[in-house]
Amino acid sequence: MTDKVVVITGGSRGIGRATALAAAARGYRIVVGFASNQAAANEVVAAIEARNGKAIAVKCDVGSEQDILALFKAADGFGTLGALVNNAGIVGKSGVRVDEMSAERIQQMMAVNVTGSILCAREAVKRMSTKHGGEGGVIVNLSSVAARLGAPNTYVDYAASKGAIDSFTIGLGYEVAGEGIRVAGIRPGLIDTDIHAAGGEPDRAHRLAHMVPMKRVGTADEIANAIVWLISDEASYVTSAILDVSGGR
């Protein structure tokens, strides 16, 4: 599938950035979706181009349907879509119980983490499904081990949003399996990225590393390697499956 386009939402930092670089190194054309950090997205594109790869950056807040439509329109002009990596997501302030959560927080969480992912998948299916004249492809949804653990007293709304992603991954995989599209999920564990800072606990991953059977946090590159494997032909018989990349946690 190399030389086809891979759309990566939240592609300017962390797992998204690592995935963009890893996929580009294997010959894919990369569309780096980013919500606000233009400089970081441009840096990813420059890094890919410096290695003779091809990439573009497209502003896209996945909480906006119009932004999603614009993202895929830009991808259409860049080549044939081969894969979508639904990586963009948000996390609220950590340590907030359900009885302290606002409706606004919950609605924003679901709009970005769930609705945004589903709408991106909708656009990808329209382009990749053989039912619509496409050549097939792959969708990889980023979940979290929080979907299994529930994240009590931390952010159960985030955990719930990722539980929804697990269900969506399984169901969509069944729905489009006969149309040349594979759908898989990744559940990262404690990974060294800045998402923990967004939740108000920049040291969270390292503070909890002792709870991981492997006794360390994971890296964005380790998640990216799993994602790139899933979108490759090496994973050609994998669909409606969710892979834990969590050090055993």
Q: Give me the CATH number covering residue 151.
A: 3.40.50.720
Compute the C-alpha angle 68/139/144, nearest 5°: 90
User: Quick check: 205 pLDDT over 90?
Assistant: no
Residue 26 has, within 13 A of its CA and on its CB side, a CA count of: 20
Question: Taking residues 140-165, what's their average pLDDT?
Answer: 97
Classify burial at 15, counting beta carbons within 10 Å of its beta carbon; exposed 0-12, middle 13-18, buried 19 or more.
buried
Handedness of CA 183, 188, 191, 197 (dihedral sign): positive
Residue 37: is its pLDDT beyond 80? Answer: yes
Find the mean pLDDT for residues 19-48. 98
CA distances from 60 to 21, 33, 64, 67, 242 (A): 19, 6, 8, 5, 26
> Cβ(5)–Cβ(78) under 8 Å?
yes
Share of the chain above pLDDT 90, in %: 90
Tens of pLDDT, residue by residue over 163-197, are: 999 999 999 999 999 999 999 999 999 999 876 55
- 78 by DSSP, 3-state: which? coil
| Catalytic site residue from 155, 158, 174, 237 | 158
CA distances from 47 to 3, 30, 34, 220 (A): 17, 12, 16, 16
Residue 233 has pLDDT above 90, yes or no: yes
**The one-letter amino acid at 192:** D
For residue 81, the enclosing domain spans 5-245
Q: What's the pLDDT band for 149 if we cut at 50, 70, 90?
A: very high
Average pLDDT over residues 91-120: 97
pLDDT of res. 19: 99
57: helix, strand or coil: strand
Give the residue with greater pLDDT, 197 vs 28.
28
Number of structural domains in the chain? 1
Grade residue 90 by pLDDT with cuts at 50, 70 and 90.
very high
Look at residue 197 in the predicted model and tell me its pLDDT.
Answer: 56
Contact 228, 1 (CB under 8 A): no
The reported pLDDT for the residue numbered 198 is 63
Which of these, 165, 159, 157, lies nearest to 105 by C-alpha position?
157
Whether 28 is a known active-site residue: answer no
Q: Worst-scoring range by mean pLDDT, 41-45, 112-116, 215-219?
A: 215-219
Distance CA 243, CA 166 (A): 10
Whether the pLDDT of residue 199 is over 70: the answer is no
Residue 200 has pLDDT above 80, yes or no: no
Q: In the predicted model, what is the mean pLDDT of the chain?
A: 96
Determine the average pLDDT of the residues in 18-27: 98
Asked if 59 and 67 touch (Cβ cutoff 8 Å), the reply is yes
